[in-house]
Amino acid sequence: MSVGYQPKWPMDLGAPADSLEAKQPDVDNGRELYDPMRFYSREFMEVEMDRLWPRVWLLAGVTSDIPYDGDYFTFEVGREQFIIVRQEDDSIKAFYNVCPHRGNRVCMNEHGAAASFTCAFHGWRFGIDGKLEHITDEHTFDPKLIEHRPGLTEAACDSVGGIIFINMDGKAPPLKEYLGLPEGYIEQYKVDEMKVVHHVRSAWKANWKLGVDAFYETYHLPYVHPQTQGVMEDFSQNDLYANGASRMIVPICTKSHRVEDQDSVDPYQAAMMADVGIDPATFSGTAGEVREAVQQAKRKRAKEMGLEHYEHFTDGQLTDSWATGLFPNVQMGMHPEGVFIMRFIPDADDPELFYYETMILYRPVENPDWKVPAWMGLPEGTDVSGETRPEVIHVPLGKLPELGEVLDQDAELLPIVQKGVRSRAFKGSLYGDQEQRVRHFEAELERYVTGKK
Ligand code: FES
Ligand SMILES: [Fe+2]
């Protein structure tokens, strides 16, 4: 029950109202305690399978992964898997990866290029447009049984700014309206010009929503990731948009306000400066001046290198993380140099298992003076030319995702939280103002599962 509680969180970077950086008006999402069974019950998982996943737009992948007709990738969520394939007319279609003959998967690969899809069970063949092209020994079938020429079942598919979405039941509102973000918000990053250079999918022993919840707030930074204090402000600007979407702006290259010494430059800050060509040894400013110095250095360098798209970004965007949440299961870390797409994917059967999937997209820059930013955390030897699409790295349960220390800390924590929320002592999450994005997400989810949406 909503009792009219409004967040009073003051953090506002002060951007003008017509800027994409602008602080959004507060939203009243009540202060309900949601029953914690949403994090472990099989019944609740089934309700989500029925009322949530088929009815939303789900981020399936990126257009740069399938530049030519016949290029495809597969995408899985819960019990469903889809083939996303570029058509001859350059449009993109999505099909359930299910053979209408006896249910086999018609495509076994995670990505590739095909002229058609031949099912490995009995050899039925389907065009990249999903149409049935060939039935093995067709004369052995009663013509009545196959007269409807069963092809692959299509799902709705659309894209915005180089990012592809699918909707299983085809009844969701138009994509842009559904996403709830201001016009141009995603498009400004030109994700279509970026390439996936690293792709990891790791299994975590927790409910998928605990993943979303943890990544939607910076309140836990001082405790779980204390090493970020020297280079990140954990009081972030939180913005709530329509339909469960949200954003938090995390100021980077600056010390947390919790750190007493706001003068001397932190080693992490020094590394951020070195990364953009400022010699930390000769930098005479204080810790509080590093963020602006890095912004100016990036702006100047972009001009010198002719990187025109930088002109559209605010100074804040050059340093800060715009962590952008798309309902239900996506967070994107948006930066001019690249975009981190994170998905929280439910397992097919186990409500206490999800897959944390990261695609790191990078914009190749053809200039010998350009270096890949160190903060992107790409493993040694990563091919950033964009010429080869890396394989998806699958990390099994019990192994750390090796996406850096911060991620490992989250991966170690969440299975423990999962145990706690199952306890009979736990009565439901108590979200504060710094967790308003989490409540915004959970409130939207509640509307779907209770039939209000
Ligand atoms: S299940 Fe696909 S051809 Fe038989
Ligand atoms: Fe974290």
pLDDT at 307 over 70: yes
Rg of the chain over all Cα atoms, to the nearest angstrom: 23
pLDDT at 4 over 60: no
- How sure is the predictor about 1, in pLDDT bands with cuts at 50, 70 and 90? very low
Average pLDDT over residues 297-308: 94
* pLDDT in the model for residue 369: 87
Q: Is the CB of 152 under 6 A from ligand 1?
A: no
For residue 112, count CB atoms less than 10 angstroms from its CB and return exposed for 0-12, middle for 13-18, buried for 19 or more: middle
Hey, is 294 helix, strand or coil? Answer: helix
Hey, is 155 helix, strand or coil? Answer: strand
pLDDT at 98 over 50: yes
Q: Is the CB of 124 under 6 A from ligand 1?
A: yes
Residue that the structure tokens 């699918």 belong to: 166
Ligand with an atom nearest the CA of residue 134: 1
Give the total residue count for the chain. Answer: 453
State in Å: Cα 333 to ligand 2 middle: 13
Q: Is the CB of 119 under 6 A from ligand 1?
A: yes
State in Å: Cα 130 to ligand 1 middle: 14
Ligand with an atom nearest the CA of residue 122: 1
* pLDDT in the model for residue 406: 95
The pLDDT > 90 percentage for the chain reads 94
Going by CA atoms, what residue is nearest to atom 3 of ligand 1? 122
Residues with CB under 5 A from ligand 2 (ion): 410
Most ligand 1 atoms within 8 A of CB, residue of 83, 97, 98, 101 to mutate? 101
* pLDDT in the model for residue 7: 65
Taking the C-alpha atoms of residue 51 and residue 287, their distance in angstroms, rounded to an integer, is 49
pLDDT at 368 over 80: yes
The answer to whether the beta carbons of residues 76 and 61 sit under 8 Å apart is: no
**What is the topology classification, in CATH, of domain 58-171?**
Rieske Iron-sulfur Protein (2.102.10)
In this predicted model, what pLDDT tens digit does every residue of 42-84 receive, in sequence order? 999 999 999 999 999 999 999 999 999 999 999 999 999 999 9
State in Å: Cα 49 to ligand 2 middle: 27
Q: Is the CB of 107 under 6 A from ligand 1?
A: no
For residue 386, count CB atoms less than 10 angstroms from its CB and return exposed for 0-12, middle for 13-18, buried for 19 or more: middle
* pLDDT in the model for residue 302: 94
Q: What is the mean pLDDT of the chain?
A: 96
230 DSSP assignment: G
Strand pairing class (195-204; 393-395): parallel
pLDDT at 185 over 50: yes
At a CB cut-off of 8 Å and minimum separation 6, what does 107 contact? 72, 74, 83, 97, 114, 117
At a CB cut-off of 8 Å and minimum separation 6, what does 223 contact? none
Give the atom of ligand 1 at the shortest distance from the alpha carbon of 103: 1
Q: Tell me the C-alpha to C-alpha distance, in Å, between residue 194 and each of 71, 254, 320.
A: 17, 27, 19
In this predicted model, what pLDDT tens digit does every residue of 385-422 receive, in sequence order? 999 999 999 999 999 988 999 999 999 999 999 999 99
Paired with 285 in beta bridges are none
User: What CATH class has 1-54+189-453?
Assistant: alpha beta
Q: Is the CB of 104 under 6 A from ligand 1?
A: yes
Taking the C-alpha atoms of residue 157 and residue 389, their distance in angstroms, rounded to an integer, is 22
The answer to whether the beta carbons of residues 361 and 339 sit under 8 Å apart is: yes
At a CB cut-off of 8 Å and minimum separation 6, what does 394 contact? 201, 202
3-class secondary structure for 64-133? HHCCCCCEEEEEEECCEEEEEEECCCCCEEEEECCCCCCCCCCCCCCEEECCEEECCCCCCEEECCCCEE
123-132, 277-286, 296-305, 366-375: which has the minimum mean pLDDT? 366-375
In this predicted model, what pLDDT tens digit does every residue of 203-241 receive, in sequence order? 999 999 999 999 999 999 999 999 999 999 999 999 999
DSSP 321-387: EEEEEETTTEEEEE-SSEEEEEEEEE-SS-TT-EEEEEEEEE-----TT----GGG-PPTT---SSS
Instruction: Look up residue 303 and give its two tokens.
Output: 């001009």
- Map out the domains of the chain as residue ranges: 1-54+189-453, 58-171
Give the atom of ligand 1 at the shortest distance from the alpha carbon of 124: 3
Most ligand 1 atoms within 8 A of CB, residue of 96, 105, 119 to mutate? 119
State in Å: Cα 98 to ligand 1 middle: 9
Maximum C-alpha span of the chain? 84
Compute the Cα dihedral for 195, 198, 203, 208 and give only its sign.
negative
- How sure is the predictor about 309, in pLDDT bands with cuts at 50, 70 and 90? confident
Instruction: Look up residue 51 and give its two tokens.
Output: 């009322």
Instruction: Look up residue 344 and give its two tokens.
Output: 């929280």
Give the atom of ligand 1 at the shortest distance from the alpha carbon of 122: 3
Instruction: Look up residue 148 and give its two tokens.
Output: 């409807």
The pLDDT > 70 percentage for the chain reads 98
Ligand with an atom nearest the CA of residue 220: 2
In this predicted model, what pLDDT tens digit does every residue of 106-115 receive, in sequence order? 999 999 999 9
21 DSSP assignment: T
Angle between helices 436-449 and 208-215 (to 10 degrees): 150
Instruction: Spell out the alpha helix ranges (H) of 216-262.
Output: 221-224
pLDDT at 2 over 80: no
Taking the C-alpha atoms of residue 323 and residue 333, their distance in angstroms, rounded to an integer, is 5
Q: Tell me the C-alpha to C-alpha distance, in Å, between residue 38 and each of 28, 32, 47.
A: 22, 14, 10
Q: Is the CB of 99 under 6 A from ligand 1?
A: yes
